[in-house]
Each structure stands twice: as structure tokens, then as C-alpha cells.
Amino acid sequence: MTNPLNYIKGGFAILALLLAYSSAMTIMNGNLKEGLTPGWIDFATSHPTIFALLLVIGAMLIGAPFIQAVSNA
């Protein structure tokens, strides 16, 4: 049986690709500001401590795919 963490990492890598594609399509449709603004900004400014904990825990458990998914969101 394989490690379930590998499936989670793969899921986050796919999510990162989909979010990057969505941002690219938004930019190509002429909405540059919305395409370059990350979707997690509102949550991060409202709850900075919880957001920081989520980032640290996600980066520790999942690693690079998690960081890419957050940066592309």
C-alpha cells in the first residue's frame, strides 16, 4: 500500500496547475488586476494568525505542492 501523503501531494500539484490556468485565462480575458490578485488575500488579512498556522502546517506536511497551490490561488 502506498503512502496517502503522496496522493495528497499529487492532489495539491493538480490544484496548483488548475489555479494557475484559471489565473492565466482571467488575465487573457482582459482582467489583469483580478488575475494577479491571489484569492486567499481576504482570508489572510481577516485572520492572519490562523492563516500563518495553516501555511506552516501545510508546508511541513505536504511541502512544495502545497506552497505552489497557495501561490497560484
Secondary structure string (H, E, C) spanning the chain = CCCHHHHHHHHHHHHHHHHHHHHHHHHHCCCHHHHHCCCCHHHHHHCHHHHHHHHHHHHHHCCHHHHHHHHHC
Say what the pTM is: 0.57
Q: Mean pLDDT over all residues of the chain? A: 81
pLDDT digits (tens, 9 = 90+) for 9-27: 888 888 878 878 888 888 8
- Max intra-chain CA distance, the chain: 47
